[in-house]
Amino acid sequence: MLDPRITSWILEFVLRQPAEDWMANELLFALPLPSPLSPRLKKILLLRRLSSDLSRPSLSARTLLSLELIEELERYAGAGAPSNSLAAAYAAVAVECTTRFLRERSDDDHGEDFFDAVNRIWNCRVADLERSEAAGLFSPALREARREMEEAIVNPVVRVGLTGRDTKKAALDAVRVYLEEAEKEMGPPYLEHLAKAVCEEWMSSGTGRDGSVVELYEMLRNLLASQGERGRYEGLPDDNYEDSVLGRDKDAPEQDNMEENQNQMDLKLVFSVNEGAGKGPNNDDDAIARPNLMNQDPSDLEHVEENRERASLSFVDKGTKDGNPGTTTCVGDKRDCAGAPKPSLMDWNPTARTFEWDEDSIESPSENSPDPSNKLHLPSAKRREISLPLEDNKTFVKRRRKKKWSSLEEETLRKAVERHGVGNWKFIKSCHPEIFKDRTEVDLKDKWRNMIRCI
DNA sequence: CTAGGGTTACTG
DNA sequence: CAGTAACCCTAG
C-alpha cells in the first residue's frame, strides 16, 4: 500500500504535466490519498480544472466556481487580497459566461437566456460575492462589467456592442495569465523538488558513494524520514514551500491558530460554497451546484475520498447543460451558511398558499437580523408553513398584509412590460428581484390589470 | 406559469 | 357602503 503522502506527490506531479485528463482521473481514483486533502493538492486540482477548461476551451460557471474556490482556499490560508490576475480572470469569465448567450442566440430566443444569465450571474452571484468575505474578487473591473451588463438589459445598443466583443478570447487570455502566474508562484512539483534535493546531496556527498540504486533508495528514505520527524505530513521540503503555493505572506505575523486552521480546515469548509444548493431537477451548472462527482463540480473534491469508488471526478465536461440558463438560482451569503442548505429564489414558491405572515417580522423585518446585508433577496423568512388539515386551514390562512405599490414598482413594471411584453410576469420579476422582492408574479399580473384599467 | 374570476381590506 | 387596489384561488 502506497503512503498517501507519496501518492499526493505523484498526483501533484501528474496533474501538473500535460497529461490527458482521463489519466489524471484514473490516478485520482486509483491512488490512496490523504484525507483531508492538503490545501496544496486542492489548489492543484482546481488549477488543473482551469487548465482543462482552457484546453477544451470552454469557460462556464464551473470555471467561475473554481476561481471562487481558489480565492477561498487562499483566504483560509491567510493570504491577503486575491492577486490582480485572479480577480481579472474572474471578471473576464463572468462577462464571457453572460455574453455568450448573446452570441449563441437561437431564432426563438428573444434574449431571455441573456437576461437570465445577467440575473443569475450579476444580480445574484456577483452581488453575493460583493457582500461576502470573498469581496476581494469584486474588482473595479467586475464592478464596471456589472454596470455594463445592467445597462445591456435595457439598452439594445449595449447588447449589440457586447455581441461584437470577443469576450471569450479575453476570458481565456485572463485565465491563462492567472494560471501562468499561479504555476510560477507554486514552484516545481514536489517530486521534482525532491529529485533535485537528492541530486544535490548526491553531488555534494563526494567519495564513499557507490552510485547504486540501493544507495539512492536509502537517501530518499532518509529524506522522507526527516520530513516525518518534523511532523510535516505533506512532506514538504521546508516551511516556505506550501506558503509560497498558497500565497501566504511569509513576513506577515503568523496567527496563533493558523497552523491549526491549516490542518483542521477540511474540505467541507473549503468547498462548502456549494453545499446544499442546486437540489432541484432544473439545477444546472450556472446555478451553484451541490457537490456531485458526476457533475464534476470542483467542490466534489470534498468527497473524493469517499466517493472515488462509485463516481468519477472528471476534468472533462461530460455534457452537463453547460450554458443552459435553467433555474434562476440566487444563493445567499454562502460563507454564513456553510453546510446548510442555501435558499434560492426558487426555494420560495410565491404561489404557495398554505402560509401565513409572521406579523412581527412584517412590522420590523430587520429587527431580528443584526446584519441585513447577509440576508437573502427574498423574504422567505417572513413566512411559515401551516400543515393543518384542509378543513381547518381556512381558519388560519391569512392574507398577506396589503401593501400599496410604490411609484418605483409601478414604473419598473410599466417599463418591463414595454420591454418584455404582457404575460412574462415571472421573467419580469426575475429581472428586478430587489424591486419586486415583496411581490409575486401574480401580483405583477394583477397590478398590470389594475394599471391598464385606469387608462 | 398565466389568465381571469373571486375575495378581502381599505378609503372616502 | 360602493369603489378600488391588493391579494387569493384554480383551470388550463
Pair A65, A181 in one domain: yes
Give whole-number Cα distances, A353 to A89, A118, A152, A259, A400, in Å: 44, 30, 36, 51, 10
Nucleic acid strand B: bases within 7 A of protein CB: 1-6, 8-10
Pair A21, A155 in one domain: yes
C-beta of residue A374 within 8 angstroms of C-beta of residue A327: no
Pair A120, A104 in one domain: yes
Q: Is the pLDDT of residue A33 over 90?
A: no
- Range A209-225 average pLDDT: 64
Which of the nucleotides lies closest to A346 (Cα–C1')?
B1
- A34 falls in which pLDDT band (50, 70, 90)? confident
Is A435 domain-assigned? yes
| Count of the separate structural domains present in chain A | 4
Strand partners, A385: A355
- Range A98-120 average pLDDT: 78
Nearest residue, CA→C1' of B5: A446
Mean per-residue pLDDT over chain A, rounded:
65
Pair A439, A352 in one domain: no
Give the other-Cβ count within 10 Å of A20's Cβ: 11
C-beta of residue A245 within 8 angstroms of C-beta of residue A185: yes
Pair A303, A447 in one domain: no
Which of the nucleotides lies closest to A442 (Cα–C1')?
B2
The three-state (H, E, C) secondary structure of chain A, written as one string? CCCHHHHHHHHHHHHCCCCCHHHHHHHHHHCCCCCCCCHHHHHHHHHHHHHHHHHCCCCCHHHHHHHHHHHHHHHHCCCCCCCHHHHHHHHHHHHHHHHHHHHCCCCCCCCHHHHHHHHHHHHHHHHHHHHCHHHHHCCHHHHHHHHHHHHHHHCHHHHHHHHCCCHHHHHHHHHHHHHHHHHHHHCCCHHHHHHHHHHHHHHHCCCCCCCCHHHHHHHHHHHHHHHHHCCCCCCCCCHHHHHHHHCCCCCCCCCCCHHHHHHHCCHHHHCHHHCCCCCCCCCCCCCCCCCCHHHCCHHHHHHHHHHCCCCCCCCCCCCCCCCCCCCCCCCCCCCCCCCCCCCCHHHCCCCCCCEEECHHHHHCCCCCCCCHHHCCCCCHHHEEECCCCHHHHHHHCCCCCCCCCCHHHHHHHHHHHHHHCCCCHHHHHHHCCCCCCCCCHHHHHHHHHHHHHHC
Last residue of a domain, one of A245, A279, A307: A307
What lies within 8 Å, CB to CB, of A142 at 6+ separation is: A87, A90, A91, A94, A126
Nearest residue, CA→C1' of B8: A399
Angle formed by the axes of helices A21-30 and A4-15, nearest 10° = 170
What lies within 8 Å, CB to CB, of A432 at 6+ separation is: A412, A416
Lowest-confidence pick of A8-12, A101-105, A336-340 = A336-340
Protein side of the strand B interface (CB < 7 A)? A 349, 351, 399, 401-402, 422-427, 441-442, 445-446
Q: What is the pLDDT of residues A379-432, one digit of tens each?
A: 333 333 333 333 343 345 578 889 999 988 998 899 889 888 899 999 999 888
CB A397 under 7 Å to nucleic chain C:
yes
Q: Is the pLDDT of residue A377 over 70?
A: no
Which of the nucleotides lies closest to A351 (Cα–C1')?
C8
Pair A237, A276 in one domain: no
- Interatomic distance A400 CA / C8 C1' (Å): 10
For residue A202, what pLDDT is reported? 67
Is A212 domain-assigned? yes
Is A418 domain-assigned? yes
Sign of CA dihedral A138, A142, A144, A145: negative
Pair A36, A151 in one domain: yes
The answer to whether the peptide bond before residue A343 is cis (omega within 30 degrees of 0) is no
For residue A205, what pLDDT is reported? 66
Q: Is the pLDDT of residue A351 over 80?
A: no
- A353 falls in which pLDDT band (50, 70, 90)? very low
- A181 falls in which pLDDT band (50, 70, 90)? very high
Is A69 domain-assigned? yes
Which CATH number fits the domain that encloses residue A429?
1.10.10
- Interatomic distance A419 CA / B5 C1' (Å): 28
Which of the nucleotides lies closest to A429 (Cα–C1')?
B1
For residue A447, what pLDDT is reported? 95
Pairing label, strands A383-385, A355-357: antiparallel
Is A206 domain-assigned? yes
- Interatomic distance A405 CA / B1 C1' (Å): 23
Q: What is the pLDDT of residues A140-163, one digit of tens each?
A: 999 999 888 888 887 788 888 998
Pair A249, A283 in one domain: no
With CA atoms as reference, report the closest residue to A153 among A126, A115, A104, A125.
Answer: A115
Buried b (16+ CB within 10 A) or exposed e, A185-224: ebeebbbebbeeeeeeeeeeeeeeeeeeeeeeeebeeebe
Pair A432, A417 in one domain: yes
Is A261 domain-assigned? no
Q: What is the pLDDT of residues A246-291, one digit of tens each?
A: 554 444 433 434 333 433 333 333 333 233 333 333 333 333 333 3
Is A324 domain-assigned? no
Q: Is the pLDDT of residue A334 over 60?
A: no
Pair A166, A238 in one domain: no
CB A440 under 7 Å to nucleic chain C:
yes
Is A342 domain-assigned? no
Q: State percent of chain A over pLDDT 70.
A: 54
- Range A69-93 average pLDDT: 88
For residue A410, what pLDDT is reported? 92
Cβ < 7 Å from strand C, A residues 356-395: 394
Q: Is the pLDDT of residue A56 over 60?
A: yes
Instruction: Find which of A64-68, A104-108, A287-291, A440-444 is predicted with most confidence, using mean pLDDT.
Output: A440-444
Cell reading at A223 = 529524506
What lies within 8 Å, CB to CB, of A66 at 6+ separation is: A46, A49, A50, A53, A298
Pair A414, A392 in one domain: no
- A18 falls in which pLDDT band (50, 70, 90)? confident
Pair A179, A198 in one domain: no
Cell reading at A214 = 540501493
Q: State percent of chain A over pLDDT 90.
A: 15
Residue A41's domain comprises 4-186+268-307
- Interatomic distance A442 CA / B5 C1' (Å): 14
The answer to whether the peptide bond before residue A36 is cis (omega within 30 degrees of 0) is yes
For residue A210, what pLDDT is reported? 64
- A433 falls in which pLDDT band (50, 70, 90)? confident
